[in-house]
């Protein structure tokens, strides 16, 4: 995910609040598109609208999916029994934010009775008796690069239930290097039950630096790094289709191998795609597969990316990703889509099925 996404959230009733916030920002901050629309996000109702950077988790017989902010929610959450039909999670009437309390370090603003933080690319895992959310959010009072874009860093929050409420009581982010941002955290629980965290570096657009993906072992609770551990670089931009951007890392153990999925290119273009590398261990070394990218535009969708890998009940490799409907890509910047977003460009949730060939290469069986 890149910085221009920071204002793609929307709640139709919140447009004036958002625009007021934009006007108050420093003149040094570059202009960005106005907020965009998403299908209505209503408690207990079916949902098939905007759902970028999905993370999927199985709890009992239910599947839970979480995404980058939609409808001005810090953590949109939906549930399904079949990975196909999804409903909005809710404990009460109205929309349900599974993450109502971001960390104190997060740049947020009051929206009604809660705080909105414009969080990106969540990852939720069950660790012990709790559920751990890794997320990225803008740091209050910090910017980076010549354009002074918002600096995003990574932290974790915990909850007793998969529907939340998740809470981050930290005073500072878990990962926040001095000269770069970090986004797109992904938790991976390996076959031995050890938790790991992966993320990507985030530079200002005009810095033109290669994006890098890192991994590091978490502690047993998943709320900090394991003692004596250190971050390890697994990948950086390399192939022409990736351009200067790789993001959304997702590690999975399947068919006696470790696979690291990632997205490359610009999320708003049909050239955006999902690649993968085969890794010797949880921390590499990782080598890009010969048939990467494995998921590209076609079969009715454009720009499939922001993927997260997981195994279903039958042990099959699944890949949750978001994609535009073919020919309808890029968030619109018009008032009509703010008022009536249905039918306007949105990134919809898909769940693909993959299988491994004897040599370890992956093949898409069903794009979802």
Q: Is pLDDT at 143 greater than 90 in this prediction? A: no
In whole angstroms, what is the distance from residue 93 CA to residue 173 CA?
A: 32
For position 92, what pLDDT does the model report?
57
Select the more confidently predicted residue: 166 or 37: 166
For position 310, what pLDDT does the model report?
99
Domains in the chain, number: 1
In whole angstroms, what is the distance from residue 169 CA to residue 192 CA?
A: 28
CATH code, domain with 57: 2.115.10.20
Counting Cα atoms < 13 Å in the Cβ hemisphere of 312 gives 16
Min mean pLDDT across 4-8, 88-92, 195-199, 231-235 is at 4-8
Tokens of 361: 């290469």
Q: Is pLDDT at 8 greater than 60 in this prediction? A: no
Instruction: Answer yes or no: are the C-beta atoms of 119 and 135 closer than 8 Å.
Output: yes
Give mean pLDDT, residues 169-192: 95
Instruction: Answer yes or no: are the C-beta atoms of 43 and 95 closer than 8 Å.
Output: yes
pLDDT digits (tens, 9 = 90+) for 144-164: 765 657 899 999 999 999 999
Tokens of 113: 């009775």
Which residues form the domain of 80? 3-366
For position 328, what pLDDT does the model report?
87
Nearest Cα residue to 118 out of 158, 152, 89 = 152
In whole angstroms, what is the distance from residue 263 CA to residue 323 CA?
A: 12
In whole angstroms, what is the distance from residue 38 CA to residue 54 CA?
A: 15
For position 297, what pLDDT does the model report?
98
For position 42, what pLDDT does the model report?
83
Nearest Cα residue to 70 out of 121, 34, 21 = 121
For position 340, what pLDDT does the model report?
63
For position 59, what pLDDT does the model report?
98
Instruction: Answer yes or no: are the C-beta atoms of 76 and 51 closer than 8 Å.
Output: yes
Q: How confident is the model at residue 40 (pLDDT cuts 50, 70, 90)?
A: confident
Q: How confident is the model at residue 269 (pLDDT cuts 50, 70, 90)?
A: very high
pLDDT digits (tens, 9 = 90+) for 193-250: 999 999 999 876 666 778 999 999 999 999 999 999 999 999 999 999 999 899 999 9
Min mean pLDDT across 33-42, 65-74, 89-98, 226-235 is at 33-42
Pairing of strands 77-80, 62-66: antiparallel
DSSP letter assigned to residue 101:
B
Give mean pLDDT, residues 47-62: 96
For position 179, what pLDDT does the model report?
83
Give mean pLDDT, residues 87-94: 73
Nearest Cα residue to 223 out of 260, 185, 191, 259 = 185
């Amino acid at each position: 995910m890149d910085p221009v996404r920071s204002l793609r959230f929307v709640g139709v009733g919140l447009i004036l609040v958002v625009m007021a916030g934009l006007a108050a920002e420093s003149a040094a901050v570059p202009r960005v598109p106005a907020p965009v629309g998403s299908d209505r996000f209503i408690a207990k109702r079916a949902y098939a609208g905007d759902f970028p950077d999905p993370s999927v988790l199985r709890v009992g017989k239910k599947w839970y999916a979480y995404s980058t902010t939609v409808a001005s929610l810090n953590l949109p959450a939906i549930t399904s029994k079949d990975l196909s039909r999804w409903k909005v999670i809710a404990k009460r009437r109205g929309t349900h934010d599974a993450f109502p309390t971001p960390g104190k370090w997060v740049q947020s603003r009051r929206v009604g009775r809660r705080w909105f933080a414009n969080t990106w690319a969540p990852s939720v895992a069950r660790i012990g008796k709790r559920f751990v959310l890794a997320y990225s959010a803008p740091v209050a009072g910090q910017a980076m690069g010549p354009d002074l874009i918002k600096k995003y860093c990574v932290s974790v929050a915990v909850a007793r239930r998969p529907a939340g409420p998740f809470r981050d009581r930290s005073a500072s982010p878990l990962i926040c290097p001095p000269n770069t941002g970090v986004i797109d955290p992904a938790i991976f629980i390996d076959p031995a039950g050890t938790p790991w965290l992966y993320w990507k570096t985030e530079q200002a657009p005009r810095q033109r630096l290669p994006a890098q993906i890192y991994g590091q072992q978490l502690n047993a609770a998943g709320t900090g790094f394991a003692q004596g551990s250190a971050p390890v670089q697994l990948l950086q931009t390399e192939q022409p289709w990736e351009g200067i951007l790789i993001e959304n890392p997702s590690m999975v153990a399947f068919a006696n191998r470790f696979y690291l999925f990632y997205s490359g290119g610009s999320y708003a273009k049909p050239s955006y795609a999902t690649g993968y590398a085969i890794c010797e261990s949880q921390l590499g070394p990782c080598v890009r597969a010969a048939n990467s990218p494995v998921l590209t535009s076609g079969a009715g969708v454009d720009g499939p990316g922001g993927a997260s890998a997981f195994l279903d009940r039958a042990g099959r490799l699944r890949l949750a990703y978001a994609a535009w409907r073919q020919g309808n890509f890029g968030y619109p910047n018009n008032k009509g889509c703010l008022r009536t977003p249905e039918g306007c460009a949105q990134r919809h949730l898909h769940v693909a099925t993959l299988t491994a060939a004897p040599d370890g290469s992956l093949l898409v069986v069903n794009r979802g």
